[in-house]
Structure formats: structure tokens, C-alpha cells
Structure 1
Amino acid sequence: MTLSFQISNLTPEDHPRTLEVWEASVRATHDFLDEETIRSLKPLVQDACLSSMPVYCIRDKSQTVIGFIGIDAPKIEALFIDPDWRGKGIGRQLVEYAINELEVELVDVNEQNEQALGFYQHLGFVVAHRSDVDGFGKPFPLLHLKLAE
């Protein structure tokens, strides 16, 4: 079932909950990351994403963040959905908002994250090229996707 939610700006007060969503989502989808790597990435997400770029979120009825997208136009830098809310159209709504309202046309995906790759391909992205390391220089290959013409 696809639901429609209001998209709003993330506030500093939302950061603790947003990090919880990030961690839960990573644990549900990034089975190639070990515990130490997840712990080491958490402060980088706080600094490199939540505090330094526009982040938009979707909240549930109680105004709790359940999904978010970080944008450094024209690129999606982060998209994470609370695992309890996956499959309900939240990711699609955030990506479509980024494409239509923020002129996004690029996104990087961990090569090992086949779910994310399939998700973005379903929304019209294609693989443009590949890197051997992620954005933090860690040995997790990235696929660089662009929106198909």
C-alpha cells in the first residue's frame, strides 16, 4: 500500500531520531557492514549529512521522523527509511520530491546493496560508472547512478 506524506525540513531537534532511523535502516539493508564499521560511520553521518546539507524528512502521525533524504544538488547523498515503514512508498516519495523539486539527477549506491540498486533503477536511474571505495575512502565499491534521459 502506497501512502502519501508531507515532506518537511529536518530540524536539529530531529537529529537523534534521524540517527536512529539511519542505524536501523543500515542494519536492515547493509549486511556487508560489520558492527565496528556501523559504529564508525555514525558520527560521519551526523557531521557529513545531518549538519552540512539540506535534509528533508517524512514523519508519522505523532511527528516522529520515519524517513529522510539528504541532498547536495544535483545528488542524493542519503536516503534512509525506518525498516518498519519500508515498502509503503516513503522512499519513492522522497526521491520523486528530490527529482521534481530539487533537480536531483545523481545518486551513489553501495555495490553490495542490491535492494537500493534495484530501487533506484525502478525509479529511472542507470549505472554511469563505478568506484572501488565509498565516499569516506572505505573499501566498499560504489555504483554512481544518473537519472536516465
Structure 2
Amino acid sequence: MIAQAILEIKEYVPQALAHVPILIIAKSAADELVGFMGIDGDTLEMLFVADGFRGRGIGKQLLRTGVDQYGVRRLAVNEHNPDARKFYERMGFVVAGRTDLDEQGNPYPLLLMSLE
């Protein structure tokens, strides 16, 4: 079940990237892609950091750029991803609502968060 969900999400990401007005990427000193975020208006649509680069401040740096330079004030996070929720809470976001389904209509509840 989880493996199937991951495969579905992997297929969705390239489509989603095509529709995100602002895409910001993070590269390593060796010029390899280590993370990215997509922004639409005041909403963070996606934020990903490669597994081997997590815990190095890349996500924090990306999100700060989104907030400070692009006015990000809202985001949605999968309810079953407590690490992501904690990260966003440390960055000043609070849960403002909840959905029963994700953006594709799948039964993955989302927490709607906003910047305090």
C-alpha cells in the first residue's frame, strides 16, 4: 500500500512541477541538485531535500527564502509525516485546518498550516 502510494506520488511530481509558477532549487558545491521548492502565490506547494542532505539546513534555507523573498504564508503537509510537521512548526507555522483527502483525492489527510 505505502509502496504504491510512493510510486503514485513520484509520477505526480513532474506534472506538479510543470504547474508551479516559482521553482527554486538548491545545489551542492559539486553542482548536484540537493533540494527544491515550488511556490504558487503565498503557498508553498512542495519542498524536497534529498535523503543524503537532510539535517544540513537546506530545507530551512529554502523555506526562509520562500517566506522572506516570495511571501510564503501557507502550506499543506501530510498528517502522517510528523517530522515535516515538526519542521514547519519550528519555522513558525501552525496548524490552521485539516482535510480528509490529499490534492489528488486520495485518503491521505493534510494539515493546512499558516505562518503565525
SS of equivalent residue, structure 2 residue 4: helix
RMSD in angstroms over aligned alpha carbons? 1.0
Unaligned residue ranges in structure 1 (runs of 5+): 1-32
Q: In the alignment, what sits opposite 1:27?
A: none
Q: In the alignment, what sits opposite 1:9?
A: none
User: Which structure 1 residue ranges, 4+ long, deviate > 4 Å from structure 2?
Assistant: none
Aligned length: 115
- Note if 1:51 corresponds to 2:18: yes
**Greater strand proportion:** 2
Question: 1:43 deviation in Å?
Answer: 2.1
Q: In the alignment, what sits opposite 2:94?
A: 126
* Cα separation, 2, equivalents of 1:93 and 1:41: 24
Q: In the alignment, what sits opposite 1:92?
A: 60
Q: In the alignment, what sits opposite 1:147?
A: 115
Unaligned residue ranges in structure 2 (runs of 5+): none
Per-residue CA deviation, residues 9-59 of structure 1 (Å, 9 max, x unaligned), is xxxxxxxxxxxxxxxxxxxxxxxx6111111222211011x2111210110
Q: In the alignment, what sits opposite 1:19?
A: none
The one-letter amino acid of 1:115's match is D
Higher relative contact order (CA 8 A, sep 6+): 1
Q: In the alignment, what sits opposite 2:45?
A: 77
The one-letter amino acid of 2:72's match is V
